[in-house]
């Protein structure tokens, strides 16, 4: 990132992503067989790489432009992420039903390409000094490792819902297919609307980030246990309760996800990393790598558990990820507070009685 610049990486990532999205819409013209499958994998891989480049660069640009309001800005942007999650499926479905397979992808690709010149004109260009910041030095910091577990667990939980939740809703509540997307609104809206407030709170009161991380993770774990609900609770699943749990999941996801980036950045500064675009790119790349790993593991593991055990048990087991990360985060912060308390007491040892008497005698 520091070699080619954040702006160039962002614009180039958008350009490639737009092009391969259009290409993906034309793959139905390819003859079926190994050629079709190979091209599908190739196009999607290129899209993933370009998306990763754009999103990593965007995080770096935002952190550079708003160094004291990182959580607020990231939280505000989650409004648009939520809008994308809410509007994407119905708009894509409408275009698909009305015009066929190609039009949704071509339309989306053209929109992305149209935004390329806009961003070239609007985005500032930050000069950066290339530094050899060590990725392994950063990721092997104990606090960063635990925060990476938090990112992974949240992403895995969200990824689990993609292949399983719609099938469960159709089977359990017998809703028409068109209403399934409305159920997803509970999670998307609560996450997107609460994220700016949680980001502002995280920036204004940095000392509460640890509590947001801990309680957010634990809330996600409890909510996934209640999503089915787990058969051990012997509670009959009802639609209103299902939607309520999704709303709570969205809010608790925001509690945990928003403070992670500034916490990793602060940890890096405390451990000798130099401030600059190089470090911002390293942190944003790490964040997105862990999120992508969770998005990969979540659907695979969740789909397997759903087939073998059913949605209720699968959701409860999936909640083990945030439970583990929440407990690990809590234990880490307790140990950290204990060490700080011990070091401060060693630096300022209390005077014994003889020293106190001697000092008082000198004053007299």
Task: Give tens-digit pLDDT for 55-99.
Answer: 888 888 888 888 888 888 888 887 887 777 777 777 887 888 788
Task: Give tens-digit pLDDT for 89-103.
Answer: 778 878 887 888 888
Would 362 be classed as within a structural domain? no
- Tally the domains of the chain: 1
299, 159 Cβ separation under 8 angstroms: yes
53, 10 Cβ separation under 8 angstroms: yes
For all residues of the chain together, what is the average pLDDT? 84
CATH of the domain at 76: 1.20.1250.20
Q: Residue 308 pLDDT more than 50?
A: yes
Would 356 be classed as within a structural domain? no
Would 346 be classed as within a structural domain? no
Would 357 be classed as within a structural domain? no
Q: Residue 147 pLDDT more than 50?
A: yes
Q: Which domain holds residue 181?
A: 6-121+131-340
Residue 338: CA count within 13 A, CB half-sphere: 6
Task: Give tens-digit pLDDT for 95-124.
Answer: 887 888 888 889 999 999 999 999 888 888
Distance CA 178, CA 274 (A): 51
Would 359 be classed as within a structural domain? no
Q: How confident is the model at residue 282 (pLDDT cuts 50, 70, 90)?
A: confident
Q: How confident is the model at residue 35 (pLDDT cuts 50, 70, 90)?
A: confident
CB neighbourhood size of 77 (10 A): 17
Distance CA 95, CA 110 (A): 14
pLDDT of residue 149: 94
DSSP sequence for 246-274: HHHHHHHHHHHHTTHHHHHHHHHHHTTPP
pTM of the full structure: 0.81
Q: How confident is the model at residue 364 (pLDDT cuts 50, 70, 90)?
A: very low
């Amino acid at each position: 990132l520091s070699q080619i610049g954040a702006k160039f990486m962002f614009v180039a990532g958008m350009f490639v992503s737009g092009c391969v999205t259009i290409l993906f819409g034309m793959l139905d013209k390819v003859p079926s067989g190994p050629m079709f499958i190979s091209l599908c994998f190739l196009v999607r891989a290129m899209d993933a790489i370009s998306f990763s480049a754009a999103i990593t660069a965007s995080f770096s640009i935002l952190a550079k432009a708003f160094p004291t309001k990182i959580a607020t800005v990231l939280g505000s942007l989650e409004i648009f992420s939520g809008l994308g999650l809410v509007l994407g499926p119905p708009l894509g479905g409408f275009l698909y039903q009305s015009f066929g397979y190609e039009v949704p992808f071509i339309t989306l690709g053209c929109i992305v390409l149209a935004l390329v010149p806009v961003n070239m004109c609007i985005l500032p260009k930050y000069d950066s000094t290339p530094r050899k910041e060590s990725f392994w030095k950063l990721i092997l910091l104990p606090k960063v490792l635990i925060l990476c577990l938090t990112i992974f667990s949240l992403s895995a939980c969200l990824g689990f819902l993609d292949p399983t939740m719609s099938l469960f809703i159709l089977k359990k509540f017998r809703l028409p297919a068109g209403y399934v997307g409305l159920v997803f609104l509970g999670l998307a809206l609560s996450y997107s609307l609460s994220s700016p407030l949680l980001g502002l709170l995280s920036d204004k009161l940095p000392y509460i980030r640890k509590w947001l991380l801990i309680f957010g993770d634990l809330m996600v774990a409890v909510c996934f246990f209640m999503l089915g609900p787990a058969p051990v609770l012997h509670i009959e699943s009802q639609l209103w309760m299902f939607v309520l749990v999704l709303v709570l999941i969205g809010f608790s996801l925001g509690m945990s996800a928003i403070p992670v980036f500034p916490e990793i950045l602060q940890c890096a500064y405390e451990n000798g990393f130099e401030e600059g675009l190089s470090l911002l790119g390293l942190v944003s790349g790490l964040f997105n790598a862990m999120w992508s790993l969770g998005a990969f593991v979540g659907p695979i593991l969740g789909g397997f558990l759903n087939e073998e055990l059913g949605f209720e048990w699968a959701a409860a087991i999936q909640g083990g990820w945030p439970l583990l990360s929440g407990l690990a985060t809590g234990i880490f912060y307790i140990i950290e507070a204990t060490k700080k308390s011990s070091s401060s007491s060693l630096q300022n040892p209390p005077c014994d009685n003889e020293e106190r008497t001697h000092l008082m005698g000198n004053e007299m």
